[in-house]
Amino acid sequence: MAKYQFFCIPDSKRREFTYINMESDTYLAEKKQLLQSGFEVEDDVIYADTPEEAVEKFRSNYIYALDEHNNSYPEGGLIKFMIESYQEIRRKLGKR
């Protein structure tokens, strides 16, 4: 699962945004350019399998917060771990 950092133009109510995959080799240089261009870091890191999923989580801010809250409990974290493990195994077996 990749980590995405989102950046917004101040006072745009999260409508004008961009993101960077934090695992990119150029992450620090891109972040510096965005900050110099007037963007600000918005929220915490978002973990997602695809950029589209990260954007969806970012846009549905409430759902992301709820997901994080559920994962803060051992039961919720265990269930999510089991679901994501199952999905990853299916993906790996499907690529063969």
**Helical ranges in 5-73 per DSSP H:** 27-36, 51-59, 61-71
Distance separating alpha carbons of residues 5 and 43, to the nearest angstrom: 8
Over residues 48-77, the mean pLDDT reads 81
pTM: 0.63
Q: Give yes or no for residue 95 having a pLDDT over 70.
A: no
Distance separating alpha carbons of residues 89 and 96, to the nearest angstrom: 11
- pLDDT-based confidence at residue 31 (cuts at 50, 70, 90): very high
- For residue 76, the model assigns a pLDDT of 80
pLDDT (tens digit, 9 = 90+) per residue, 63-94?
A: 566 677 777 888 888 888 888 898 888 888 87
- For residue 96, the model assigns a pLDDT of 53
